[in-house]
């Protein structure tokens, strides 16, 4: 998916954090698993200051839905695929050194939604019958713009805080993705329906932010002075 370069960048950034942290400060690391509106995955967390943590994460989710819809003039069979994956590079500021986190950073997103609709019955119009193969098909593709997307949010639970190493975490925030882009194409008699893509795009232009709601668990595993 063209993400090898980003993986190298994130790993390199993590190594810089590990080697640049104050050698006189306590160093502590954690790993976490979590899931929410941007998929299911995990992250690595490193404390670089008593009030600052850095995180690298990867989340993904895939879903397929097929079925039939017969409440229209012509029944249709549909097939939809959602494929989402994203890398994240985030920095947490802990104003009270404990529970609350103020977070900023970037996401590299690779999200796509593909769907196809195919009539499953004939259509009668003015004493003429049009078979499904004559009616054609309609294909829709929805993607988010490529590139790095800034993230801002709040979090709860200090993964590298003191106390019991296993902690519950929550993240609430927004990714500025830019508006998703829609394309439509059709064949047969329903091909002109694809012309609605422009009006649909106008509506999608209002959605430039994507909400993130995520719950998880983290475990701190190194604590050295």
Residue 12 pLDDT:
54
Structural domain that includes position 189: 4-224
Residue 162 pLDDT:
81
Residue 5 pLDDT:
52
Residue range 20-66, pLDDT digits in tens: 444 444 458 999 999 999 999 999 999 988 899 999 999 999 999 99
The CATH number for 207's domain is 2.40.160.170
**CA distance to 71, 76, 103, 125, 126, per residue, from 135 (Å):** 17, 11, 51, 12, 15
**β strands within the chain, DSSP E:** 27-36, 39-49, 52-69, 76-93, 100-119, 123-125, 128-130, 138-143, 148-156, 166-176, 181-186, 209-224
Residue 68 pLDDT:
86
Domain count for the chain = 1
221 vs 218: CA distance, rounded Å? 10
Provide Rg for the chain, Cα atoms: 23
30 vs 62: CA distance, rounded Å? 27
Residue 11 pLDDT:
52
Do residues 139 and 197 lie in contact, with contact meaning Cβ atoms separated by under 8 Å?
no
The segments of the chain whose pLDDT lies below 50 read 1-3, 16, 18-26, 224-225
CA 145 and chain centroid, separation: 12
Residue 9 pLDDT:
52
pTM: 0.78
């Amino acid at each position: 998916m063209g993400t090898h370069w980003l993986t190298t960048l994130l790993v390199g950034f993590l190594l810089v954090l590990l080697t640049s942290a104050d050698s006189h400060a306590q160093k502590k690391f954690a790993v976490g698993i979590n899931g929410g509106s941007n998929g299911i995955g995990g992250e690595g967390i490193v404390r670089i200051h008593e009030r600052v943590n850095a995180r690298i994460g990867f989340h993904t989710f895939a879903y397929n839905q097929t079925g039939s819809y017969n409440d229209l003039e012509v029944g249709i069979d549909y097939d939809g695929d959602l494929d989402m994956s994203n890398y994240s590079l985030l920095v947490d500021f802990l104003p009270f050194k404990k529970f609350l986190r103020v977070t900023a950073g970037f996401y590299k997103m690779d999200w796509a939604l593909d769907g196809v609709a195919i009539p499953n019955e004939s259509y009668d119009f003015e004493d003429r019958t049009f078979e499904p193969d004559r009616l054609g098909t309609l294909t829709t593709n929805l993607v988010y713009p490529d590139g790095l997307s800034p993230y801002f949010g709040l979090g709860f639970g200090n993964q590298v805080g003191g106390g019991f190493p296993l902690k519950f975490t929550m993240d609430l925030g927004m990714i500025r993705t830019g508006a998703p882009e829609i394309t439509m194409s059709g064949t047969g008699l329903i091909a002109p329906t694809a012309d609605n893509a422009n009006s649909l795009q106008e509506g999608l232009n209002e959605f430039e932010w994507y909400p993130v709601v995520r719950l998880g668990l983290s475990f701190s595993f190194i604590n050295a002075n």
